[in-house]
Structure 1
Amino acid sequence: MKVDVRSLSRFACLTVLGLGLGTGCTSTKVGYADPLKAEPLTTQWEAGDLHQIAETMIDSLLTTPTVVDATTGRTPVLSVGKVKNKTMQHIDTESLTDTIRTRLLRSRRFQFVDRTTDDQVAEEFRVQQESGLVDPQKAVPVGQQYGAEYLLTANLSEIANTDGRTQDVFYKFTMNLRNLRTGLIEWAEEKELRKVSTRRRFGF
């Protein structure tokens, strides 16, 4: 059987060209975008929602007269509790907590204690005090840490409704600042977000 080498060469070239065109049609362009200007893609909780919430809470907290008075000439110790997720979604509330704490820390109006790492701290104290591995003269003494004067707590809830092709999701984020000495709530704020999604009819 005689094989036409030129025909095979043309076939190979066309195949490679076809693969190249196919790859070009399905290529994906990836780039960086400003997280503060993220456009909503779904009715689910997204990065842009986090930044809106954090900005509103921090601006309100730092400008309320009670907090301004409490932070004038001193930096009170604050503990930030984990955000309670009352939605039906799996939301990384720790990320929201971290964002709020970081921005407040940058304001230099508060000092912070982090109760989320207490287990690790307790283990470190155990090693220093009981293991015999650390020089007693250089070990950190127990019982001298600062106690929080204020506790910042928060809740995130949602109400979702679906009507035909439209999905309507309402989010509410509430935050409270409690004075641990008096037990009084000295500041409270809430931020509401509503996200609506409408599915297009096929062909339109």
Structure 2
Amino acid sequence: MRKLLTILALGCSLCMVACSSGGKSVTRIDEKSTTDLSGKWNDTDSRLVADEMITSCLSSARIEKMIGEMGKTPTVVIGKVRNKSHEHISVETFVKDMERALLNSGAVDFVANSSERAELREEVMDQRGNATEETAKALGMESGADWMLTGTINTIVDQEGGQSVIFYQVDLELTDLQSHKKLWMGDKKIKKFISKDSVKL
């Protein structure tokens, strides 16, 4: 009996140690708050860069003049945004942030990108023979884009010891799809200083 009690006591002690040392605390924070843990590109960078660059593009004197001369709301499609940086960056999240900024601006319309259009066309094809004639959508009735927005994300890393500086540069270009003339070019730079605290023994 004494041996059984000793084993139980030891088991409880080990469980308490494991629970106290391996516990995890989770705190919900505002999704729009700025949180930099690693110093890498994050959701805040994606959202702020997208908002700032779309605003810069649509408020430029050249684009405002062209929208006025067109006499209609131009339609934009977002092309490829290439990640040429040294780290993994969710380009899709950045593109969605730009799409949201474009829609919320009210200055332009925008259409689905090439991969999204392929899926939409499959649905239209599926409707033929499956949906009623009144509701089935016809092929060849898509809205063509007037302008295409493309871009790149680049980084330069300068590191020495436990300190490093990461320099991000996002370049975007707006191009006329008919003439292939570049209508606007913009860039956004972000520089982050990262210092790793020395371990004190």
Structure 1 residues 48-95: Cα deviation after superposition (integer angstroms, max 9, x where no partner): 221221122122123212222344563211101131111132221011
For residue 83 of structure 1, the aligned residue among 81, 85, 89 is 81
When residues 135 and 166 of structure 1 are mapped into structure 2, their CA distance, relative to the original with a 3 A threshold, is same
Q: Which secondary structure does the structure 1 equivalent of 2:44 belong to?
A: helix
Equivalent residue for 1:154?
151
Aligned Cα root-mean-square deviation (Å): 2.6
Question: What's the CA shift for 1:162?
Answer: 2.2
Structure 1 counterpart of 2:124, which letter? F
When residues 14 and 62 of structure 1 are mapped into structure 2, their CA distance, relative to the original with a 3 A threshold, is same
Equivalent residue for 1:202?
199
Unmatched 5+ stretches in structure 1 = none
Q: Following superposition of structure 1 onto structure 2, how do residues 59-98 of structure 1 map, counting pairs within 5 Å?
A: 59-72=55-68, 74-98=72-96
Question: What's the CA shift for 1:189?
Answer: 1.1
For residue 111 of structure 1, the aligned residue among 104, 109, 112 is 109
Equivalent residue for 1:23?
19
Question: What's the CA shift for 1:9?
Answer: 6.5
Q: Following superposition of structure 1 onto structure 2, how do residues 1-204 of structure 1 map, counting pairs within 5 Å?
A: 3=1, 16=12, 19-20=15-16, 23-24=19-20, 26-72=22-68, 74-115=72-113, 116-129=115-128, 132-136=129-133, 138-203=135-200
Over the matched positions of the two proteins, sequence identity in percent amounts to 24
Structure 2 counterpart of 1:124, which letter? E
Whole-Å separation in 1 of the counterparts to 2:189 and 2:6: 64
When residues 12 and 135 of structure 1 are mapped into structure 2, their CA distance, relative to the original with a 3 A threshold, is closer
Whole-Å separation in 2 of the counterparts to 1:165 and 1:137: 67
When residues 137 and 11 of structure 1 are mapped into structure 2, their CA distance, relative to the original with a 3 A threshold, is closer
Structure 1 residues 29-56: Cα deviation after superposition (integer angstroms, max 9, x where no partner): 2122223332322232222221221122
Contact persistence 2:82–2:153 (CA under 8 A): yes
Contact persistence 1:54–1:100 (CA under 8 A): yes
Whole-Å separation in 1 of the counterparts to 2:123 and 2:146: 24
TM-score (norm 1): 0.81
Rg: which structure is higher?
A: 1
Question: What's the CA shift for 1:173?
Answer: 0.2
Q: Which secondary structure does the structure 1 equivalent of 2:32 belong to?
A: helix
How many residues are treated as equivalent by the alignment? 198
Whole-Å separation in 1 of the counterparts to 2:131 and 2:22: 60
More divergent stretch after superposition (165-174 vs 17-26) = 17-26
Q: Which secondary structure does the structure 2 equivalent of 1:69 belong to?
A: helix
Whole-Å separation in 2 of the counterparts to 1:133 and 1:101: 32
Q: Which secondary structure does the structure 1 equivalent of 2:148 belong to?
A: strand
Q: Which secondary structure does the structure 2 equivalent of 1:35 belong to?
A: coil
Q: Which secondary structure does the structure 1 equivalent of 2:121 belong to?
A: helix
